[in-house]
Structure 1
């Protein structure tokens, strides 16, 4: 049976925000950022057309909340990869990068919203906190590999930026379809893709 949508305005205040964020993600995934509309989100959520704007103070507010949720799930994807990896710092760093790629390939429009769009309010307190948590995670992983704190050591922070640039650049190339001719990662067995990615990331690291 098809699940019935709740009647209009039936959500309690505490459940309205998650419902609208879920509906916003569905709309973003199917319509893209250019055609994204609050009215369509409201229709998906089964609420009045003004509910998303009222609850999130407009389109940018809703997209900011969605992007913040994306960062939380990005960290979850990285953590899941790390649970399955060897415990040494380098293996953990590589697993985290693989989780980054997993998330980007599985959530392409959301990934673009989080990292390439000007629509989210990057000064929003919650967005800033969760996006910084994702960056801090990488900084800690680089610290564990190199033995120095990126926040106090310029060389270590350079490695943070090199690793992030390498992983993010590869993610962008994959989801834009630009790697399809030389290496079609989307059709590649996961183990083969991971082995290639490990080789790429190691090229960005100076561990000696």
Structure 2
């Protein structure tokens, strides 16, 4: 696991760095708050981002939110001061864990394992959701194409489906692709 560590305090960073190394993580880079986070991510391609600072500020959290939209990855944030509004904004930015005060190697390890577990589960759910959306969209296309074939060729629903399926097999294409072509042709002929 490659980790990008964001921290300006060398002593604090050493605790986090040592804990991560004990977990078997590779510290891809350590940067300060003023460094270009987006460039550091592009350069190091980390699996995890750990942000360790005294007090986060809104602009930094907004940058994190934008970066996380572009290229999602787990983010853990350790802060020195509690600020519930900033904590809520951190969660909106994609921060998986927002821990306040008191770093210990055991706590860092526990939090990192939790962050990774939650992130992987979230990614899996998003992939499943996208597959479901695609399947639903494909189904709608097939149903629409069947309806067109039933109307314009006088086929039953079963015959229309078999016809689409045969075309898909003959052309070595997905059923949804064939349905899309049938719909496009019907739209073209309407003009």
**TM-score, normalisation: structure 1:** 0.26
* Structure with the greater alpha carbon radius of gyration: 2
